[in-house]
Amino acid sequence: MLEITHLIKSYGDAAPVLKDLRLKVEGEQVVSVIGSSGAGKSTLLRCINRLVEPTSGSIVLNGTEFTTLGKRELRTARRRIGMVFQSFNLVDRLTVMENVQSGRLGYISTWAALTRNYPKDDIRRAFELMERVGIAQYANKRTDELSGGERQRVGVVRALMQRPEILLADEPTASLDPKTSEQIMGLLRDLASELNLPVIINIHNVGEAKEYSDRIVGMRYGKIIFDDLPAALGTEEMDAIYSGTPADERPSMGAAA
């Protein structure tokens, strides 16, 4: 279970990007976070595994408070959170297998990583997962030879190699064509239930968000203003999430501060 409370993130003296967020995700829920660009979706996701340092607040994953972890503890704790990226962030010049195994770098020694001496269990798991998402035949190919959809599958398998307790996906389909995009969303949903894994997805495509998730969180300029079942997301709610500009929010912020 992931529980975020009072999460605030601000850069310098500017108005905070995240304003006192509260979010709880449990079970094998697929949660989609929607909102216009600059609403803070990506910052929220990156605060969870501290790729972005939260300013204040608490993030607890299955009993571990993430915000107070030291450097070394954070490194080992990060293994418990898988992340999938919009631009895949694969290492182009390495093979698919090396990319997949890079999800295990937090567990194996640097020497084993350098010599590509991966544990048998990890290799077996890699082939199982690659088989599951349909990329096993590419194990020895360089990732830059793959198509977008295939590359994102590598990204998903890499994250799952960590045996994560939660999966974060930061606009995983934004660089993909509509059809591939749906396949990836379907895959994330299926994997969530197969692996009993909660998944948080940042997404721009509201249609896909409604179709593939169990719950939708709508963000607007650093606040969560909608949090309900996909069916509850109507035109009115959509307008509230997507209308306005950050400038409109500022006077009220000034008053609040």
Name 59's Cβ contacts closer than 8 Å, sequence gap at least 6: 2, 3, 4, 7, 47, 48, 65, 66, 67
Whether 197 contacts 166, CB under 8 Å? yes
Q: Shortest Cβ distance from residue 256 to other proteins (Å)?
A: 33
Please tell me whether residue 152 binds other proteins under the rule CB under 8 A.
no
Identified binder of other proteins from the candidate list 9, 104, 125, 132, rule CB under 8 A: 104
Of 107-136, binders to other proteins (CB under 8 A) are 107-108, 110, 113-114
Residues 171-200 as x/- pattern, contact with other proteins by CB under 8 A: ------------------------------
Whether 163 contacts 174, CB under 8 Å? no
Q: Shortest Cβ distance from residue 80 to other proteins (Å)?
A: 8
Q: Which uninterrupted H or E stretch holds 31?
A: strand 30-34
Identified binder of other proteins from the candidate list 6, 24, 75, 250, rule CB under 8 A: 75
Residues 219-248 as x/- pattern, contact with other proteins by CB under 8 A: ------------------------------
Identified binder of other proteins from the candidate list 89, 243, 245, 252, rule CB under 8 A: 89
- Residue (112 or 238) nearer to other proteins, CB: 112
* CA 180/CA 167 separation, integer angstroms: 20
Q: Rounded to whole angstroms, what are the CA distances from 206 to 29, 36, 104?
A: 17, 11, 33
Please tell me whether residue 78 binds other proteins under the rule CB under 8 A.
yes
- Residue (29 or 95) nearer to other proteins, CB: 95
Whether 221 contacts 250, CB under 8 Å? no
* CA 162/CA 221 separation, integer angstroms: 32
Q: Shortest Cβ distance from residue 190 to other proteins (Å)?
A: 22
First-to-last alpha carbon distance for the chain, in angstroms, is 32
Number of neighbouring beta carbons within 10 Å of residue 222 = 25
Identified binder of other proteins from the candidate list 66, 85, 212, 221, rule CB under 8 A: 85
* CA 154/CA 90 separation, integer angstroms: 8
Question: Which of 34, 13, 12 has its CA nearest to residue 237?
Answer: 34
Please tell me whether residue 67 binds other proteins under the rule CB under 8 A.
no
Q: Shortest Cβ distance from residue 232 to other proteins (Å)?
A: 32
Please tell me whether residue 93 binds other proteins under the rule CB under 8 A.
yes
- Residue (22 or 79) nearer to other proteins, CB: 79
Rounded to 10 deg, the angle between the 120-133 and 148-161 helix axes is 140
Please tell me whether residue 158 binds other proteins under the rule CB under 8 A.
yes
Three-class DSSP category at 17: coil
Question: How many residues of this chain bind other proteins (CB under 8 A)?
Answer: 34
Name 225's Cβ contacts closer than 8 Å, sequence gap at least 6: 218, 219, 240, 241
- Give contact residues for other proteins (rule: CB under 8 A): 49, 51, 75-79, 81-83, 85, 87, 89-94, 98, 102-108, 110, 113-114, 155, 158-159, 161-162
